[in-house]
Amino acid sequence: MKILHHFMYSVVFGLYAAPSFAATTTHGDWLAYAQKENGNQACIMSGEPSKSAGKYTKRGQVYLIISHRPSEQRYNEISFQAGYTLKKNSTVLAIIDGKNKFSLQSNKGHAWTIDADTDAAMIKALRSGTTLVIKGVSSRGTATTDTFSLKGFTAAVKSINKTCKVK
């Protein structure tokens, strides 16, 4: 299922050719891997929620993804795949250990931080945290709460940093 997870990530984010994966490593509850996207290296880590709550009848896969795309000078990009279409123009809330809060902007079934500075601040908080809770609302008005374990998060960050030569 984890390999399917990687393939689906590639399809969802519009990679046109089938991805070629380098070594996939598991770090606690997080996966780290590298792949070629249109001939350029991308280093990606992802985690799935350990718990999801909400009164929904059908929902797709849910992931938090951190990626580096050195050829585009894009590093530490955080994205959330909700598994459903988010309410238009809504804000998704990420809460680390009940105290560090970050707003993510939604677009269809995904949400992102607003800029690189927010990415950096959120990754710093995630590296020192134990639990991440993400709250969103679907286009139908269904509130959801996804809880992620941060066990292995720092090791996964170090892995993608090493592979993509990010300091």
Task: Output the pLDDT for position 48.
Answer: 97
The CB density around residue 165, as the number of other CB atoms within 10 Å, is: 10
Sign of CA dihedral 158, 163, 164, 167: positive
Region 86-98: what's the mean pLDDT? 96
**Percent of the chain, pLDDT > 90?**
79
Q: What is the pLDDT of residues 133-149, one digit of tens each?
A: 999 999 999 999 999 99
Give the list of residues 6+ apart from residue 128 with CB closer than 8 angstroms, or none: none
In the chain, at which residue ranges do the beta strands (DSSP E only) sit?
20-21, 25-27, 30-37, 40-47, 51-54, 63-69, 74-81, 91-96, 100-107, 110-112, 131-137, 143-149
Give tens-digit pLDDT for 15-40.
434 445 566 889 999 999 999 888 89
54 lies in which domain range?
2-163
Count of the separate structural domains present in the chain: 1
Q: Which residue has the higher pLDDT, 78 or 167?
A: 78
pTM exceeding 0.95? no
Q: Say what the pLDDT of residue 2 is.
A: 44
95 and 114 Cβ atoms separated by less than 8 Å: no
- For residue 159, what is the domain's CATH number? 2.60.40.1880
pLDDT at 9: 45
- In tens, the pLDDT along 56-83 reads 888 999 999 999 999 999 999 999 999 9
Q: What is the widest separation between alpha-carbon atoms in the chain?
A: 43
Q: Please report, for residues 17, 33, 118, 121, the alpha-carbon distance to residue 42 in angstroms, rounded to integers and kept in the order given.
A: 14, 8, 21, 21
Closest CA to 137 of 145, 129, 147: 145
What's the whole-number mean pLDDT along residues 41-60? 94
Taken in order 51, 151, 84, 33, the sign of the CA dihedral is: negative
The pLDDT value given to residue 82:
96
DSSP 14: T
